[in-house]
Amino acid sequence: MNDNRLGTSVSPYLRLHADNPVDWREWGPEAFAEARERGVPVLVSVGYATCHWCHVMARESFADPEIGALLRQDFVAVKVDREERPDVDASLMAAASAFTQQLGWPLTTFLTPEGHVFFAGTYFPPTPVGQVPAFRQILAAVLDAWTERRHEVDANAAAIATAIRQGAEADATARAGEGAGGAATGLPSADSIRAVTDQLSQAEDTTYGGFGGAPKFPRTPLLEFLADAARDGDAEADGLLDRSLHAIRASELTDADGGVFRYATKRDWTVPHYERMLYDNAGLLAVAGAEQARGIADFLRDTLRQDDGAFVAAQDSESTIDGQRVEGGWYRRPLSERALLEPPPLDEQVLTGWNGLAIRGLAIAGDRHDDPEMIGLARDAADALLRSHVRDGHVVVRSSTPRGASAAPATIEDVGLLAEGLLQLALVTGEVTYAVTARSLVDDGLANRFDVDAVLAGAGTATGEQPQTAMRSGTVALAAAAAGLAALTGDSAYRTAAARLVADRATTGTERPLGHADALGVALGLQRPSREVVVVTSDQHDPLRDAVRAARRPGTVIARVTPTQAADWAAAGFELFEARDALDPAAYVCHDRVCALPARSAADLAAGLAAPAA
């Protein structure tokens, strides 16, 4: 009898499996209690709604009645949406790395009823392919080990769980600033961070652009570091960034409508993996030139944007053409022909953290390229999130769909990325309400106010956020927002906390930048003297507003406000704005909050920006 329980799930990925002949459960204590009662292992399959190979494994294996019967008889089967539950995905990925370095989705893991992984892999085909066994063979081998060598299974699972727990404890100790070195001194030096550019030059694909061989990813955190280094005066970094962005823009990785695919399967950026993720496109917005940014913003507006202004997570790689599911077929048609076909479906989840990344990217791009529509899109997304995912300055919903809000707990990704996005939007628009909420979110993040999943807590395998290469991490975003708040409020504790959060990540980044670049730009800014620039003017077209764009570099916070807004910021506790409402127009250039005389013209502001710190 089929007892599949996914039909009422909020997650669109889980609902895709609601008709499988597998008795799927959602992740939770109930599934593991059932496994203990029955004395069987737990199969946990992790994927997401727009994942092509997840679709393939579903059609080949999870839709097979015989495999469904086997799983019902000898396992408790659990489906996890990695976008809805990044905490579970991170823990299982950490365990899976003991079995394979080819990590990805679908992620296939086998756990004891105590929640400890004892075997893992990714996609398994229906029949053996080279050295990769068939899924049926995997199931048979797991059952054999479970029934005939249970003591080995338990010992291996316990060892992996211990290693994960020790790693998580070491990370927590580093974040807390305990041990030798302290928070600030744990940061790599500015020189060592700048030296990363030489490593990246050696890793650059000088023939096709980008870094490494196939597959080729946008690597937006790496591009963002290059942008920070370039603004810090590194001409080599500027060249690397420009060539990488050109390769992405001019290749098949960028679709005709401006959206960017997740990666290219070939070294020359051809044969894309056709799914389009919000986080890739949002991350590129923060560094792209005007034309490229405009195309990405159009894609977000026309394809991923909901009526309320929030953005959904992704667009699928597959679509139905002539009654058949085809990967990439819709994207390979000219735009005029696409309009006659059903487009690939959307992953309709609204994820708090990913929307925070989009808000930040749109605000930065809109400000840099003087594009009010981008800033408007950022504002609409922020307002939508604040209405539905945030209550009294705290993230209360990580994921929602038209079916309602998910019960998944908010993570540091949600708090950090939304805080950074809201703070950037506040600085661009002058609207302090966004900054007030960002401050509350940063306080939540620094106080570690996150619920730990009951299963992971009981198993001792909660890892926290893991290093990422595809998108800016919540930890890094939290640190960047905290550093910004230090400049705006005068509270140096925020800056100390920011350094503590990124010290270890940045040190690793100086050693292995291709995989760990996301903290380098924030660390570089923290190693630079703090600089604050406030432009106060009632005229939206005042030349001071344009002149201040030249000040954007690591370690600098830039705000543009009207006199009334300056008073509002000061009243809300942002001390940088105190007594800034008297002159209109005026620009204030401050170093570590010690300010020069106000500049009243663009020429005076330019001179003030060029002057060294006192």
Residue 393 banded pLDDT, cuts 50, 70, 90 = very high
- And the tokens for 27? 């992740």
Token reading at 411: 């993570």
With contact defined as beta carbons under 8 Å apart, do 353 and 422 qualify?
no
Q: What are phi and psi of 345, to 5 degrees?
A: -70, 160
Q: What is the residue type of 527? A: Q
Question: In whole angstroms, what is the distance from residue 97 CA to residue 125 CA?
Answer: 20
Q: Tokens at residue 63, please?
A: 């839709």
**184, pLDDT greater than 70:** no
Q: Say if CB 55 and CB 424 are below 8 A apart.
A: no
CA distance 306 to 297: 14
Angle between helix 278-285 and helix 220-231 axes, rounded to 10 deg: 10
Tell me phi and psi for residue 344, to 5 degrees.
Answer: -60, 145
The residue whose two tokens read 């894609």 is 299
DSSP 465: S
Place of tokens 């396992």: 75
How distant, in Å, are the alpha carbons of 535, 545, 585 from that of 540?
11, 7, 11
Alpha carbon distance 488, 573 (integer Å): 9
Residue (of 515, 525, 518, 514) closest to 200 by Cα position: 514
Question: At which residue do the structure tokens 């809000």 appear?
Answer: 405
Q: What is the reported pLDDT for 400?
A: 98
Q: Who's near 533: CB < 8 A, 6+ residues apart?
A: 548, 551, 556, 557, 558, 559, 587, 588, 589, 590, 609
* Structural contact between residues 251 and 269, judged by C-beta atoms closer than 8 angstroms: yes
Digit-coded pLDDT (tens) for 151-180: 999 999 999 999 988 877 766 665 565 433
Q: What is the DSSP string of 165-221?
A: HHHHHHHHHHHTT-STTHHHHTSPPHHHHHTHHHHHHHHB-TTTSSBSSSSB---HH
Residue type at 198 in one-letter notation: D
Query: CA quadruple 390, 396, 401, 403: dihedral positive or negative?
Result: negative
Buried/exposed 369-403: b ≥16 CB within 10 Å, e otherwise: bebeebbebbbbbbbbbbebbbeeeebebbbbbee
Percent of the chain's residues with pLDDT above 70: 97
Q: What's the distance, CA 455 to chain centroid?
A: 24
* CB neighbours of residue 207 within 10 Å: 8
pLDDT tens, residue by residue, 425-463: 999 999 999 999 999 999 999 999 998 999 999 999 999
Question: Residue 475's pLDDT band (boundaries 50, 70, 90)?
Answer: very high
The whole-angstrom separation of Cα 11 and Cα 401 is: 7
Average pLDDT over residues 44-70: 96
Cα–Cα dist 40/76, whole Å: 7
- Tens digit of pLDDT for each residue in 395-413? 999 999 999 999 999 999 9
Q: Is the pLDDT of residue 185 over 60?
A: no
At 103 the three-state DSSP class reads: coil
Of 578, 577, 579, whose CA–CA distance to 557 is shortest?
577
Confidence class for position 2, pLDDT limits 50, 70, 90: low
Q: Are 362 and 375 in contact (CB under 8 A)?
A: yes
Quick: pLDDT tens for 264-321: 999 999 999 999 999 999 999 999 999 999 999 999 999 999 999 999 999 999 999 9
Q: What is the pLDDT of residue 162?
A: 92
The rounded distance, in Å, linking the Cα atoms of 463 and 70 is: 32
In the predicted structure, residue 224 carries a pLDDT above the cut 50: yes
46, pLDDT greater than 60: yes
pLDDT in tens, 130-145: 888 999 999 999 999 9
- d(CA 155, CA 161) in angstroms, rounded, equals 10
Mean pLDDT of 25-32: 97
* Structure tokens given for 560: 């543009």
| In contact, 518 and 357? CB cutoff 8 Å | no
Would you list the DSSP string of 120-169? EES---SS-BTTBPPHHHHHHHHHHHHHH-HHHHHHHHHHHHHHHHHHHH
pLDDT at 172 (0 to 100): 67
- Name, in order, each residue with C-beta under 8 angstroms of 536's C-beta and a sequence gap of 6 or more: 561, 562, 563, 566, 580, 581, 583, 584, 585, 586, 587, 588
For the stretch 232-276, pLDDT in tens is 999 999 999 999 999 999 999 999 999 999 999 999 999 999 999
Q: Which residues pair with 311 in a beta bridge?
A: 305
Distance separating alpha carbons of residues 359 and 353, to the nearest angstrom: 10
- Whether residue 410 contacts residue 396, with contact meaning beta carbons closer than 8 Å, is answered with yes
- The C-alpha torsion from 410 through 414 and 420 to 421, rounded to 10°, is -120
Give, as one character, the DSSP assignment of residue 97.
Answer: T
When pLDDT is averaged across residues 55-61 and rounded to a whole number, the result is 96
* Residue where the block lists tokens 């085909």: 125
Residue 1 is predicted with a pLDDT of: 52
Is the backbone peptide bond immediately before 543 cis, with ω within 30 degrees of 0?
Answer: no
The pair of structure tokens assigned to 423 is 């703070």
